[in-house]
Structure 1
Amino acid sequence: MVRSAAVLLREQGTGGTSIDRVLAHSGAPRGSVYHHFPGGRTQLIDEAVRYAGDYIAARIDTAVATDDPVEAVDAVFALWRRWLLESDFRSGCPIVAVAVQPHDDAPQLIDSAAEAFARWREALAGLLGRHAVPKARAARLAALVVAALEGAVVMCRAERGLEPLDAVAEETRYLLAQALGEVPGARSGQDGQHPTQERSS
C-alpha cells in the first residue's frame, strides 16, 4: 500500500491519492487500512513520502560505496529517465507532489518532504566532501543538483520529452567534474571551456 501510494503521488499528486485508489492499485483489502494506518490517509501519504525519500537516498548510498560523486548523480538521473519513459511522462516526484501543496491540517507531511530533500542533499554533500570539496560548496552543489533534477523532471512532464533531463544531467556532470578537479584546466582556469563546446577556428 505504501508503494502504491508513492506511485499514485508521482502520477496523480496528493489530491489524486485517495484510500480507494491506493486499495485499487495495491489490491489490498480495505480492512488493512485501519489495521496498518490508524492515522488514515494522512499517515499513508506520510509513509509513502518517507518510502520515496529512502528509495532515492538508497540509490545515492549505493554509489557512495563506490566513492564516486559523478556516478551517484548519474545513477539518480538514469533512474528518473527510466521512470519518465516507462510512465509515458506521467511520473513526477512524490516528494514534490507533497511539498507544493498546503497541508495546514497535516504539517507532518511538509516535514517529511523536507527531511527527504535534506537527506538527499546531505548524502551528496558528504560524498563531495570526502573528495576535498569545501564543505560550504559541497552543500551548495548538493542543493543545486537536487533542485536541477526536480525542475528537469517537471519540464520533461510538461514537454513530454527527455531533453530537459538530459541537458541538466550533462551540465551537472560537468559542474561536478569541475568541482572534483577532473576536467583539464578546471582548477587552474586555463580556458574554462565546456567539453561539448566547439572551439572557434
Structure 2
Amino acid sequence: MSPRKSDSRERMILSAHVLLREYGAAATSIDRVLAHSGAPRGSVYHHFPGGRAQLIDEAVALAGDYVAGLIDAATRADDVTEAMDAFFALWRDRLVESDFRAGCPIVAVAVETNDDAPHLARSAAEVFARWREALAGLFLRGGLTEQRSRRLAAFVIAAVEGAVIMCRAERSTAPLDDAAAEIHDLLVRTLRDRPDPDPGHVIRP
C-alpha cells in the first residue's frame, strides 16, 4: 500500500531525523529527504515554508523527544545505578541495530556550522538542557544535592555522546561499555558516600 499524501509531512520529518543521525546536518538536503521519504517535491514548501532550516529544526525536536523518551524509560527504575545501566544499554542497542550508523542528530546539528540558520544551534542547546534536567531529577531523587545532580547529569550526557562518536568510528561498543562501567562505579561510590538527608527533608519522587 502506498503512503497517504496527507502523511508526507511526518515522513519528511522522520526522514530528516534518520539522515541527520546517519550523515550529519550538511548532508541532509531537501533532495535527500525527498528521496528517502518518497514525499512529493511540491509538499516541501507547503509543509515547511521556512524550507530546509525549518525541516531540520523539526527533526531536531523529534530527536529530542525520542531520546527524552529513552531517558524516561530508563529512569523508571527505582535504583539510580540500574536506571543508568539501562540508559547506556538503550544506546548500545541502537548502535548495534543500526550497524554503527546511527549517531545523535542533536550532536550533528550542534557541531556543524549553521550560519544560514543559527537558531538550529539554539534548538540543540535546548534539547541538551532538557535531557540534563531529566537526568538531574533522577539523581536528585536518589538523594544527591541539586548542584551535584546537575553536574553529574551534564557529565553523563557528555560521556554518552562522546562514546557514541567513538563507537561509530571504531565500529565497536567498547567505548560505550567502558563509559557505562565507569559511570556505574562512580554512581555506586557517590550514592554510598552521600551525606544522610536532613530528617526534616523529604525527597519526593
Category of TM-score, reference length = shorter chain: 0.7 to 0.9
The corresponding residue for 1:27 is: 38
Match for residue 70 of structure 2 among 49, 59, 68: 59
Please state if 1:123 is matched with 2:137. Answer: no
Shift in Å, 1:8 = 0.4
Q: 1:68/1:54 Cα in 2 relative to 1: closer, same or farther (>3 Å)?
A: farther
Shift in Å, 1:68 = 3.9
The corresponding residue for 1:179 is: 190
The corresponding residue for 1:36 is: 47
Cα shift readout 1:73-121 (whole Å, capped 9, x = no counterpart): 2333222212211222122111010100111221110011001111111
User: Contact between 2:26 and 2:112, CA under 8 Å: does it hold in 1?
Assistant: no
Shift in Å, 1:135 = 0.8
Shift in Å, 1:187 = 5.3
Shift in Å, 1:61 = 2.0
| Alignment size in residue pairs | 184
User: Contact between 2:85 and 2:184, CA under 8 Å: does it hold in 1?
Assistant: yes
Please state if 1:92 is matched with 2:103. Answer: yes
The TM-score, its normalising length taken from structure 1, stands at 0.85
User: Contact between 2:75 and 2:84, CA under 8 Å: does it hold in 1?
Assistant: no
User: For the aligned residues, what is the CA RMSD?
Assistant: 1.7
The corresponding residue for 2:7 is: none
The corresponding residue for 2:20 is: 9
Match for residue 117 of structure 2 among 93, 103, 106: 106
Q: How many angstroms apart in 1 are the aligned matches of 2:69 and 2:155?
A: 19
Which portions of structure 1, spanning 4 or more consecutive aligned residues, are displaced by more than 6 angstroms? Answer: none
Q: Unpaired segments of 5 or more residues in structure 2?
A: 1-11, 196-205
Percentage of identical aligned residues = 67
Shift in Å, 1:24 = 1.6
Shift in Å, 1:67 = 4.2
Q: Specify the code of the residue in structure 2 equivalent to 1:4.
A: S
Q: Unpaired segments of 5 or more residues in structure 1?
A: 189-201
Q: How many angstroms apart in 2 are the aligned matches of 1:20 and 1:155?
A: 29
Q: How many angstroms apart in 1 are the aligned matches of 2:101 and 2:76?
A: 32
Please state if 1:147 is matched with 2:158. Answer: yes
